[in-house]
């Protein structure tokens, strides 16, 4: 009997679990663009275009290798608008003994799929996604009995497991982590590698026209469009990063420069997260760049930590703690998301640039996400679910398994410290140190009160004050709380009043 095999838009890998043991002579592969998945949140137009185009090119890749593929475009006649509906329609095309899928990256979809067998009247086999280096069981075993799930210790276990950057049972260079070397502010005169946009072929042009028509009310700019949408293009992007940007990635990975969206960042998460690149291969190539003397150890270790450490860690945490994890709100944050997150129209130069970059490219690098848009939402007390929905829909590399823990735990501290060792609140001085934003800002980064005071300054101290009962015992906040104790009470009261006026105006 034949098997129907469903491939999702972030599973564009010919070796994905659902395609293992495929019988090319009998099985049917289903790939579908459906409105339900494209609009359950208002995804960035460029994100939708990227995935639809990559899906169409992947279908062509499968057909070229002899697979029987049923591809349903969004505007196809009879498109039901949902994945389950498209599976039901495909089942009428032949006689199938079961449906095989790779587990999705979102709890809501996995829970829905677990009801499909009864609804569709045939067995549904949901296979674990083995594109990840750490299986669910391994993560559960690592987490068992731990009060705090600190990423650093997980990362070390992953280094031992894979042998990446290891010298026997010890880390190469004698250190596990070179983060202290990776915090250099941007220097004047730095030049950044230019990113060559990928060619827009007929498939991509058709998708761009479709998205412009069907998703005109979604946020973000659709063009210019330059993402890689094929495996070959993604591999070229990978190789270009290794050659041009990796050598300086470590030094300046925390830097921010107005009008420079890419700096030395890889922008490879888009392609790893949708299946066009293999994360382990990417890590191995980065390691080889160090062994060949092309890139320094601090750069390569920092990059591998993002992939082997953070990426695997947040995925493990997501599946370990969902669905209750998303409901926690440790700081009781309840404000609504400010309108400028959708427009970028604010006098705060750092937020205007980070959000403007995001709206234009469906991308911003991790420090812009954590210490600009994330830190502002944290200190302003924005409701976690609102912030998380924004991150999920606005970035082309965002799927709930990776977005939710990073936003909920790291950026917003909504889990109370399960993931992060402290809230990542920042004042204007940190932003000034790590960027060139403050020089062109309407606010004065040195002022804590007054009309020209940097909002990050008074929001920082207001955040610590109003959450003192919850955060006072956090050992990593001991120093700022001692500083707060020594401050003139009148200044503290003035900053809190300034923060109240600012937040009420949002």
Whether the per-residue pLDDT at 490 is higher than 80: the answer is yes
CATH 1.25.40.80 maps onto the chain at 136-321
Q: Which CATH architecture has domain 340-505?
A: Orthogonal Bundle (1.10)
Rounded to the nearest 10°, the torsion over CA 407, 392, 276, 178 is -20
pLDDT score for 114: 97
> What distance in Å separates the CA atoms of residue 192 and residue 267, rounded to the nearest whole number?
14
Asked if 105 and 399 touch (Cβ cutoff 8 Å), the reply is yes
| Dihedral sign computed on CA atoms, order 111, 113, 114, 119 | positive
What residues contact 107, with CB distance under 8 A and at least 6 apart?
318, 319, 322, 323, 400
> What distance in Å separates the CA atoms of residue 137 and residue 173, rounded to the nearest whole number?
31
> What distance in Å separates the CA atoms of residue 382 and residue 374, rounded to the nearest whole number?
10
Q: How confident is the model at residue 238 (pLDDT cuts 50, 70, 90)?
A: very high
> What distance in Å separates the CA atoms of residue 131 and residue 135, rounded to the nearest whole number?
9
> What distance in Å separates the CA atoms of residue 320 and residue 323, rounded to the nearest whole number?
9
Whether the per-residue pLDDT at 189 is higher than 80: the answer is no
Helix, strand, or coil (residue 233):
helix
CATH 1.10.579.10 maps onto the chain at 340-505
Q: How confident is the model at residue 172 (pLDDT cuts 50, 70, 90)?
A: very high
- Mean pLDDT (whole number) for 2-25: 97
Q: How confident is the model at residue 415 (pLDDT cuts 50, 70, 90)?
A: very high
136-321 CATH fold: 1.25.40
Q: How confident is the model at residue 187 (pLDDT cuts 50, 70, 90)?
A: confident
Q: How confident is the model at residue 107 (pLDDT cuts 50, 70, 90)?
A: very high
Q: How confident is the model at residue 331 (pLDDT cuts 50, 70, 90)?
A: very high
Class of the 2-127 domain?
alpha beta
Joined together, the tokens standing for residue 412 give: 């917003």
Count Cβ atoms below 10 Å from residue 42 Cβ, excluding itself: 18
pLDDT tens, position by position, 118-153: 999 999 999 999 999 999 999 999 999 988 899 999
Count helices and strands (H / E) in the chain: 25, 7
- Mean pLDDT (whole number) for 272-289: 98
CATH 3.40.50.620 maps onto the chain at 2-127
pTM, two decimals, is 0.96
């Amino acid at each position: 009997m034949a098997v129907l095999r469903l491939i999702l838009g972030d599973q564009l890998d010919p070796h994905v679990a659902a395609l293992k043991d495929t019988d090319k002579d009998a099985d049917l592969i289903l790939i579908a663009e459906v409105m339900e998945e494209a609009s359950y949140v208002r995804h960035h137009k460029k994100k939708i275009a990227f995935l639809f185009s990559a899906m169409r090119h992947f279908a062509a890749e499968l057909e070229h290798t002899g697979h029987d593929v049923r591809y349903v475009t969004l505007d196809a006649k009879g498109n039901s608008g949902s994945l389950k509906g498209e599976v039901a329609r495909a089942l009428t095309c032949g006689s199938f003994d079961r449906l095989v899928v790779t587990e999705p990256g979102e709890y809501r979809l996995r829970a829905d799929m677990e009801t499909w067998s009864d609804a569709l009247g045939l067995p549904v086999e949901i296979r674990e996604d083995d594109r990840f280096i750490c299986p669910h069981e391994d993560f559960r075993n690592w987490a068992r009995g731990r009060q705090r799930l600190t990423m650093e210790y997980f990362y070390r276990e992953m280094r031992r497991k894979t042998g990446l950057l290891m010298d026997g049972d010890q880390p190469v260079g004698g250190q596990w982590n070179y983060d202290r070397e990776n915090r250099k502010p941007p220097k004047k005169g730095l030049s950044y590698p230019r990113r060559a946009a990928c060619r827009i072929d007929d498939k991509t042009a058709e998708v761009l026209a479709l998205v412009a028509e069907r998703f005109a009310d979604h946020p973000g700019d659709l063009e210019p469009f330059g993402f890689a949408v094929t495996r070959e293009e993604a591999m070229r992007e990978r190789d270009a990063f290794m050659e041009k940007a990796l050598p300086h990635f470590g030094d300046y990975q925390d830097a921010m420069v107005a009008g420079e969206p890419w700096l030395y960042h890889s922008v490879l998460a888009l392609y790893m997260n949708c299946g066009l690149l293999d994360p382990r291969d990417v890590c191995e190539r980065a390691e080889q760049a160090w062994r060949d003397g092309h890139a320094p150890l601090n750069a390569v270790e920092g990059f591998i930590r993002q992939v082997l450490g953070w990426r695997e860690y947040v995925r493990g945490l997501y599946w370990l703690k969902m669905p209750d994890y998303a409901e926690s709100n440790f700081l009781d944050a309840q404000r609504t998301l400010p309108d400028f997150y959708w427009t970028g129209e604010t006098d705060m130069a750092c937020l205007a640039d980070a959000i403007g970059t995001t709206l234009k490219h469906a991308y911003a690098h991790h420090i812009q996400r954590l210490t600009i848009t994330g830190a502002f939402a944290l200190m302003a007390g924005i409701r976690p679910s609102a912030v998380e929905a924004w991150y999920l829909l606005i970035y082309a590399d965002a799927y709930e398994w990776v977005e939710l823990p990073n936003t909920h735990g790291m950026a917003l501290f909504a889990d109370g410290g399960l993931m992060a060792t402290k809230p990542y609140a920042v004042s204007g001085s940190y932003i000034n140190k790590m960027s060139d934003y403050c020089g062109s800002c309407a606010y004065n980064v040195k002022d804590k009160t007054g009309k020209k005071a940097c909002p990050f300054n008074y929001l920082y101290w207001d955040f610590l004050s109003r959450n003192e009962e919850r955060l006072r015992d956090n050992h990593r906040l001991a120093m700022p709380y001692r500083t707060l104790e020594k401050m003139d009470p009148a200044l503290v009261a003035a900053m809190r009043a300034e923060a109240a006026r600012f937040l009420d105006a949002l």
